Amino acid sequence: MNLQDEYADIAPYSGKQIKEAIERLKEDKDFLYSLCEVTSQSWRILAPVKRSQFKNELYPVLDSVKTIKDFQENITSFFVMDKIIENSMEVFTWAGLENLEKDGAYLYFSNHRDIVLDCALLNFTLGRQGYKYAEIAVGDNLLLNQLATDLFKLNGAVTVKRSLSLRDKFHESKRLSSYFVKTITENNRSMWVAQKSGRAKDGIDLTSPSIIKMLHMSQKDAGMDLQTLLGKCRIVPVAISYEFDPCDINKGRELLKRSLKGAYKKKKYDDLIQILKGLKRYKGRVHLHVGKPLGVNYADHIEVANEIDRQIHLGYKLWASNYIAYDILDSSGRFDNKYSKSEKKSFIARYKRLADDLVHMVLNTYANPVRMQLKALDERG
């Protein structure tokens, strides 16, 4: 039994599933609408000749898709990511790919800021530079309908089942972890996973040791110790940093409500709205840092998580927005050489209509990466 059969309910599409999904996309007008929207056009206002031209360009490419890699390269990268970078970023840069082998498979542990872009930008960079694409771990809460499911699964999404009882969640997490390990070791295909469940809405990037522990537990029955697991999975920390977060105010409101009421209940389409914001709205400069693959000399899962954090904190690219927020909250001018007066004035103006307590929450999301990097530098000595 191959992986696709054994894990059919969570694995990305393959074979016949890909062909069927492509046919559904061609028949679904919402796909055309969505593709236009995220590339900063509007299907509804396009002239009929432009609509026809768009379909004539897109459909032959869709018909050529036979594999997940085909879809990632020819649709996601060419039709979508190029346009998102061009329309919503000042510049996109990356560093650290020299730490990887082009034919190697890795388990990428990434900080998590944007629902879709964090993993999409990594795959965009890997593909353009001739490295292996990674499958991506995606919560089932994002598979809102058939269109969303098809788009995620055609981009290599592995389903993380969240709506389970504690008992079922434990067993499913162990099974999912087993899929990660087998994908890397048996299929020589990389995996992307966020360092903890959900986005770091407060800007604090900390890896959940339980993810590493569950990876190990999934292999204990086979007698694999932690060091052997680390040697096989080749964990690589990834840090992505956005100069401006299109969803920063949304995140701040959620954090504020949690602090005041103890909980925050999402509406059905909150994630979808924030996905579109994250894809379309201005992000300024964006940087992706790929760390060095971890070795095997770690005593336990906590030490592994600490090393992932260390690399992410040191690899995180700090922007003027981060330094400005830090100085405002610290009531200091410690980093005033990192930004101009006009940059500070412009940054503050972004939040001039917000209540003070909300502004404080938002500023902390920008300041916390500075605090984490300072701590990492201090510990490094």
Inter-residue contact 204 to 368 (CB < 8 Å): yes
202-213 pLDDT, tens digit per residue, is 999 999 999 999
Q: Any idea which residue has 């593909």 for tokens?
A: 127
Contacts of 120 by beta carbon, 8 Å cutoff, 6+ apart: 76, 81, 155
Inter-residue contact 312 to 205 (CB < 8 Å): yes
Q: What is the gyration radius of the CA atoms in the chain, in angstroms?
A: 21
Q: Choose among 156, 179, 5: nearest CA to 67.
A: 156
User: Across all residues in the chain, what is the average pLDDT?
Assistant: 93
Domains along the chain with CATH numbers = 3-317 (3.40.1130), 321-380 (no CATH)
Phi, psi dihedrals of residue 288, rounded to the nearest 5°: -115, 125
Across 156-169, average pLDDT: 91
Residue 256 burial (C-beta neighbours within 10 Å; 0-12, 13-18, 19+):
middle
Across 325-343, average pLDDT: 96
Across 357-362, average pLDDT: 97
| Paired residues of 192 in beta bridges | 108, 136
Inter-residue contact 192 to 122 (CB < 8 Å): yes
User: For the whole model, what pTM was predicted?
Assistant: 0.95
Enter the DSSP assignment of 65.
Answer: -
**Token pair for 12:** 């990305």
Alpha helices in the chain (DSSP H): 3-6, 16-27, 29-38, 48-63, 68-71, 82-88, 117-128, 146-154, 166-186, 209-220, 226-233, 248-261, 270-280, 301-315, 320-330, 341-349, 356-380
Across 191-218, average pLDDT: 95
pLDDT bin (cut points 50, 70, 90) of residue 267 is confident
pLDDT bin (cut points 50, 70, 90) of residue 282 is very high
119-160 pLDDT, tens digit per residue, is 999 999 999 999 999 999 999 999 989 999 999 999 999 999
221-244 pLDDT, tens digit per residue, is 888 999 999 999 999 999 999 999
Cα end-to-end span (Å), the chain: 51
CA distance 284 to 320: 11
Q: Choose among 370, 366, 314, 316: nearest CA to 344.
A: 366
CA distance 144 to 227: 38
Q: Any idea which residue has 């020589």 for tokens?
A: 188
**Token pair for 69:** 């890699």
CA distance 31 to 20: 15
